[in-house]
Structure 1
C-alpha cells in the first residue's frame, strides 16, 4: 500500500527545539488513535533559545496538555511575569509598563481610557500605573494567583522560563505518548516528482523518514517550507530594521522581578528576563548603526551579575513566509518567520498556529480552501503583531540617535497608521477581529510613549467631575489594598512550587 493510500494520520516534524516539541506534544495529545508522529532532530544543531518570556496565552497550551503548573515551574526554572517594562523608549529616564490585565474600570458603555483622557484634560489623571493591578504588584515585587478579590480584580500572568528546559520537558511528555524521535542531520528533502509534495526526509546516514504531512521546525534555515517548497518570504525590515541579536545569560542575585525589562539602547534594545537560576539577557540591534563588537561590549557592561558565557550573535531578517502552510508542509517557529521578542510573542505564534492546524487536521496536503483560510489567518495575526511592535519604535522622542531618528520618521503600514489616527482623533481603539493585542494593550503603549489623543468621546462627560474623581480614586484605592496583602514574588514562588511536590523531587 502506498503512502497516498493510507488513511491514518502520519506526521513528520523536522527539527526539535521549542517549536518542534510543542507540535509533537499537541499532536500526541489530540490526534486520534493510530496517528504516527515522528520527529527528526540533531543534537549537533543548537537552538536560538531566546524565547524565554511569554504572554498569558501560554496557559491555554499548558492546560490543553494537562501540565501541572507546579511541576512545570520546577522543570523549566520558571518565574512569574505580570508585564513588560519599557525603559527609555519614549526618552531617556522615562519608563512605562505594558502590564497584563485590565487598566482602570469603565463606566456605562465607555472603556476606562475615555474617562482617563477626560481626567487628563482636567488635570485629575495620574499615570496609568496607579490604575493597573498588575503593574502595581509588579513594581512592588508582589505576586498572587487564584484569589477572588472583593473588587473582582483579576491578575493574569505569564512566565519567564528556560526555553531549552521547556523543550526537554515537552520531549519527555511526547515520547511517553508515542512520539518517535530520530537523531540525525537532514541531508536533503525528497519531493514527489508528480505532485511536488514532500515525500521524505533523507538523513546524513541515508535513512529515509517518510510521512504524509511535514512540519518545518528547522529554524531560520527553513529547509522544507523554503528550501524545498519555495514558499517565499515577506521582508519587513523597512519597518522593523533590527537584524541582529547578541545574547548571554548572567548570574542572578537577590529578588527576581515579576516582569520582563526592555531597555532602549543606542541602536535597539536590551532584554532582561529573570529565571530562578539565571537571568537571560540580549541586545537586539541594527547592524547599520552598531557593530557586533559594540553590541557585545554594551551588553556585558549592563548585566546584573557575572556573564555565564560569551555573548552569542544571532542574525535575522524580520518578516514572515508568504505561505505558512504550503502543499503538505506547515512552518512553525523561526521557519515561519521572525518577529523580534519585544512583546514576547514567539512561543504564542507557535501555539496559535498549531491550535488553528488542529481544528482542520489534514490526512494529506489539505484541501486548498482550508489551506488558503489558514494562511489568511496567519497573515492577519503576524501583520497585526508587526504593527504593534512598530508602534513602539515610531512613538519615540530619542532625538539625536540616527537609529531612533530613522524609525521615528519611517513610513508606517496603513493598518497601523489608521489605528494611530483613530486614537489621536478621539482616543478610540478598536480590536480588529481576533488580533492578539487588546485595546488595553494598545492603550498602555500609546499613552506610555506619549502619543496624545486630541479629544475623547463626549459621552465621558456624563459623569460629573466629582463622579470622575471618585472613579479614579476608588480604582486606585482598591488596587493598593489588594497589593498590600500580597506576598513577595520570590517567597511565593518557592512556597507554591513546594506544594504537592512528588516524593523524591528535590526542592
Structure 2
C-alpha cells in the first residue's frame, strides 16, 4: 500500500482557501507523508473580503492547535455571536440570528415549541430574549464559555471576524514552519497525461514545471484546473439568488459600535454587510446588476459607512452556484474554485473547511478510486444545496415589495426542498435537520420567525406541562439569562484584556 501512496501534492493558489488547505495538510499529513507545494503569484490578487465566520471554525482552529488569543491578535480579529438582520422581512424591522441554543429543552421537548405556546398565548417576549448570545450581543458584551455547570455561561457559542489577508499570512507562516513549500510564480500552462487526462504538472511563466500527483485548485472564480482545464461545468443558481456583484470598502470605526456581531442591512437592490475588526470596519454591498448600476451601488455603500473610507471601493463579480463536480480526476477544487454562495450567512470559509475535512476523510491513493470521488462530489453538492436553501429563505420569505428586487424575490418559485421546510414549519413550528446539515433547528427557527413566518399552532406535546409551571420556568430562564449577560465584560474590554493587536 505504501508504494501506492500520494507523495506530491500541489496547491494552486494561495489566499484563504489555499493556505487553509496547506495548514490542514501540514498538520494531518506532515512532510513525511508527502511533499506539499503551494503555488501563488503576488501579481494575482485574492478576493480577501470574507471576514466573518461561523462557530465551526473553532473545530478547524483546535485541529491546528492554534492559540486563540494569538490568532485573534495576528488577524486584527474580533468576536462574533451572530448576525443582526435589518429591513429583511419588512422595512424598519430587525431580528437577530444567534449562535448557540434558545433556552433549554424541557421534558425532552424542544424549547422552541414551549416558546411558541407562550407566544400564541399572548406573551410578548421574543425568542431571542431566551438566548444568551442574543442578549449579550445587544449589550455589546462577550466572553468565552466557562466551566459553570448548567449555567448558560458554559454554553456560549461564538465565531470570529478577521482580516482575510492577515489570516492567509498567519496560516502561511504556520504551514511553512511545518514543511510546506511556497512557490512564487504565475501558471501559464497545465500539462495533462495523454492516456487519461490527469494533471501531471503546472508550468510557470519562468518555464519551471511543478509536478504533482494530487492537485488542489484554489485559484478562485476562474477555476484554472477544475474548469479551464478539466471542464467540470457549473450549475448556475442566479434565478434563486439574483445578486451577482459586490463592492467592498474598509472604513475607520468613527462613531460606530464595536459590536460582537455582523450586521446585514437589506438595501433596495441587495444588502450591505458591516464587520467590525480591531483596526477597521469591513463593509460591502452585495447587489443585483439587474436592478442597480455599479456606480449607484458604490455611492450607496459610501453613503452608509461609520467612518472615513480607508481605500477606494473594490468591485467583485460572481455567479452564485457550484461546480457540477468539485473533484475531477486528480483535481479537487476548494474555495471559490468550487463554487460561490454569497456571504449572507458567513459560510464561505466553512465550505472551505468542510471540503478539506471531507477530502481528508476520503483521501486518495494514486489509484483515485471512482467510488471515493463520487461520494465526495455527492457530499459537497448536498451541502452546497442545503446552504443555498437557507440563503434563499432570507430573500424569499419577505413582505417587501417596495423595489423590483424584493418583488422578484418574494414571488419567485423556490426549490422543493425549501418548500418542504416551509410546509412542516407552518403547521406546528417543527424543523427537521437532514443528515449532517450545516444549519440546525435553532438557525432555521431564528430566521423563519425573524422573517415573519409564524406557525399556525405549536407542537401539541407541550400541553403536557401545565401553564403555571411553564410560565414559572420561562420566567426563571429569562432571569438567569439576563443575570449571565450582566456578568460578561464588554466586547472591547475583553479584547483589550486578552488579544489586542499590537500597535503598528
Quote the residue 1:248 is aligned against: 249
1:73 aligns with 2:75: no
- Other-structure match for 1:204: 205
Whole-Å separation in 2 of the counterparts to 1:35 and 1:494: 41
Alignment equivalent of 1:449, drawn from 451, 455, 478: 451
Deviations 1:440-495 (A, max 9, x none): 00000001111121111111111111122122211110100001111111011110
Provide the rounded CA distance (Å) in 1 between the counterparts of 2:474 and 2:208.
67
Residue equivalent to 1:183: 184
SS at the partner of 2:9?
A: strand
Q: Is the 8 A contact 2:4 2:367 kept in 1?
A: no
1:82-136 per-position Cα deviation (integer Å, ceiling 9, x unaligned): 0000001011110001100001222112101111111111102511221110010
CA displacement 1:159-209 (0-9 Å, x = unmatched): 000010000011011111111111111102111111111111111111111
The 3-state SS of whatever aligns with 2:39 is strand
Aligned counterpart, 2:7: 9
The aligned residue for residue 24 of structure 1 is 22
1:169 is paired with a residue whose SS is: helix
5 Å matches for 1:42-121?
Answer: 42-121=41-120
Rounded Cα–Cα distance in structure 1 between residues aligned with 2:457 and 2:122: 14
- In structure 1, the partner of 2:479 is 477
1:162 is aligned to: 163
Question: Is the 8 Å Cα contact of residues 99 and 133 (structure 2) preserved in structure 1?
Answer: yes
Partners in 2 of 1:350 and 1:124 — Cα distance? Answer: 42
Q: 1: CA distance between counterparts of 2:187 and 2:133?
A: 45
What residue number does 1:222 align with?
223
Query: Where do residues 96-495 of structure 1 align in structure 2 (5 Å cutoff)?
Result: 96-149=95-148, 151-153=150-152, 154-253=155-254, 255-364=257-366, 366-495=368-497
Q: CA RMSD in A?
A: 1.5
Q: Equivalent residue of 1:146, what SS?
A: coil
Inter-CA distance 430–8: structure 2 relative to 1 (3 Å threshold): closer
Q: Kindly indicate whether the alpha-carbon contact (under 8 Å) linking 2:262 and 2:274 is maintained by their aligned counterparts in 1.
A: yes
Query: Is the Cα contact below 8 Å between 2:6 and 2:214 reproduced in 1?
Result: no
Confirm or deny: 8 A CA contact 1:212 1:363 kept in the other structure: no
Any idea what SS the aligned residue of 2:225 has? Answer: helix
Q: What is the alpha-carbon distance in structure 2 between the residues aligned to residue 6 and residue 152 of structure 1?
A: 52
Q: Deviations over 1:219-240 (max 9, x none)?
A: 0000100111111111011110
Q: Would the alpha carbon gap of residues 5 and 113 (structure 1) be closer, same or farther in structure 2, given more than 3 Å must change?
A: closer
Q: How far apart, CA to CA, are the structure 2 residues paired with 1:247 and 1:107?
A: 45
Query: Quick one: distance in 2 between partners of 1:150 and 1:369?
Result: 45
Give the superposition deviation at 1:141: 0.5
In 1, the alpha carbon distance for the partners of 2:121 and 2:150 equals 27
Matched residues, number: 499
* Cα distance in structure 2, aligned partners of 1:227 and 1:5: 31
Q: What CA distance in whole angstroms lies between the structure 2 residues aligned with 1:76 and 1:358? A: 26
What SS does structure 2 have at the residue aligned with 1:258?
A: coil
Post-superposition CA distance 1:46-100 (Å, at most 9, x none) = 1111110000011111111111111101100000000000001011110001100
- Aligned to 1:313, the other structure's residue is in SS state strand
What SS class does the counterpart of residue 226 from structure 2 fall into? helix
Contact 2:135/2:485, CA 8 A, preserved across alignment: yes
Q: Report the Cα offset of residue 394 of structure 1.
A: 0.6
Q: In the aligned structure 1, how far is the partner of 2:6 from the partner of 2:386?
A: 36
Paired residues of 2:431 and 2:444 also in contact (CA < 8 A) = yes
* Pairwise CA distance, 1:146: 2.9
Which sits farther off after the overlay, 76-85 or 360-369? 360-369
TM-score (norm 1): 0.96
Deviation at 1:363, TM superposition (A): 2.8
Q: TM-score normalised to the size of structure 2?
A: 0.97
When residues 358 and 461 of structure 1 are mapped into structure 2, their CA distance, relative to the original with a 3 A threshold, is same
Note the residue ranges of structure 2 that are not aligned, 5 or more in a row.
none
Using the alignment, how far apart are the partners of 1:205 and 1:56 within structure 2?
42
Most deviating of 354-363 and 311-320: 354-363
Structure 1 stretches lacking a partner, 5+ long:
none
Partner SS for 1:223: coil
Shift of 1:364: 2.6
SS of residue matched to 1:308? coil
CA contact (8 A) 1:385 1:436 kept: yes
101-110 or 374-383, which moves further after superposition? 101-110
Deviation at 1:253, TM superposition (A): 3.6
Aligned partners of 2:475, 2:268: CA distance in 1, in Å?
39
Q: 1:466 to 1:5 in 2, by over 3 A?
A: closer
Give the superposition deviation at 1:5.
Answer: 7.5
Cα distance in 2 between the residues matched to 1:62 and 1:454: 42
